[in-house]
């Protein structure tokens, strides 16, 4: 439920959303040119975008409403900076095909979901720095993966509440608390999913986890 519809946000907020989105997309493209191994990333990017795209269809009823999965923490942990373009494409497809959110709010929605994903990546990367024995590494990957997954959803909720407040001057805390409460099950489940998938990939194919790379 972090997709804001058309006709709710004020023009400056919409414009700011698009500006930040375009700037971060440019950074991601520049980054991929600098690194120069984009072709290895493309299948991974596509799979994660697909997962993000369909995750929003899974609803969990909470009280009088329902909340859906976002999966931005997982996308962030695995893709790193490329999480942002992946989420942008995912949001565009969700808008066009599922009517989640509006065309004019694609920018804001990408920022609200994508920046928490980048923050999740930073948390995960920071938490797993330094050489460790494999056993302890597994534990730290799980803990920081779960932390990243949970915080990404929480921040997406807070960002959404904030962009609504910027447009309407409503009580921020009332909206933020209502949103967060509705997303508590999602935060817990996504934390577990992100932590478990990160550990699984660590055992099976650790180079798939962008957040564990040393070179960037």
Partner 1 sequence: MNVKQMACIFAVLVVLSCLCISVASAHRMHVVHTLSELEIEAYFGGGTPVRDADVKVYDIDGNLYIEGTTDEEGKFRFPPKIGMEEYEVVVNATHMPGHKGETTINLSQVSAGAGGVGTEIPLYTRVIAGFGYLIGIAGFAMAYVYWKRNKK
Q: Under the rule (CB under 8 A), what is the footprint of partner 1?
A: 1, 3-8, 38-39, 42-43, 45-46, 49-50, 53-54, 57, 59, 61, 63-66, 68, 89, 93-94, 97-100, 160-161, 164, 170, 175, 178-179, 182
The least distance separating partner 1 from the CB of residue 169, rounded to whole angstroms, comes to 13
**Residue 54 half-sphere exposure toward CB, CA atoms < 13 A:** 5
Closer residue to partner 1 (CB): 49 or 140: 49
> Which token pair is 198?
């990160």
Question: Which has the closest alpha carbon to 87: 57, 121, 111, 62?
Answer: 111
> Which token pair is 6?
């058309």
Which CA distances in Å does 182 have to 2, 46, 65, 69, 157? Answer: 11, 29, 8, 12, 10
Closer residue to partner 1 (CB): 142 or 179: 179
Closer residue to partner 1 (CB): 3 or 125: 3
Reduced to 3 states (helix: H, G, I; strand: E, B; else coil), residue 67 is strand
The least distance separating partner 1 from the CB of residue 25, rounded to whole angstroms, comes to 14
Closer residue to partner 1 (CB): 80 or 195: 80
- Give me the helix-helix angle, 11-35 and 38-55, nearest 10°: 150
């Amino acid at each position: 439920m972090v997709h804001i519809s058309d006709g709710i946000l004020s023009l400056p907020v919409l414009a700011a959303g698009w500006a930040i989105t375009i700037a971060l997309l440019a950074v991601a493209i520049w980054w991929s040119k600098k690194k120069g191994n984009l072709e290895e990333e493309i299948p991974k990017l596509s799979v994660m975008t697909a997962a993000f795209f369909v995750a929003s269809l899974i609803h969990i009823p909470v009280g009088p409403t329902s909340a859906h999965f976002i999966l931005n923490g997982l996308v962030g942990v695995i893709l790193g900076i490329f999480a942002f373009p992946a989420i942008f494409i995912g949001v565009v497809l969700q808008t066009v095909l599922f009517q989640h959110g509006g065309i004019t709010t694609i920018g804001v929605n990408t920022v609200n979901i994508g920046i928490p994903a980048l923050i999740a990546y930073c948390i995960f990367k920071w938490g797993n720095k330094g050489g460790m024995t494999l056993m302890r590494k597994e534990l730290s990957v799980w803990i920081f993966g779960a932390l990243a997954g949970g915080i990404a959803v929480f921040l997406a909720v807070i960002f959404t509440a904030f962009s609504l407040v910027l447009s309407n001057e409503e009580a921020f805390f009332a909206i933020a608390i209502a949103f967060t409460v509705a997303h508590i099950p999602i935060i817990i489940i996504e934390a577990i999913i992100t932590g478990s998938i990160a550990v699984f990939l660590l055992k099976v194919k650790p180079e798939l986890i962008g957040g564990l790379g040393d070179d960037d």
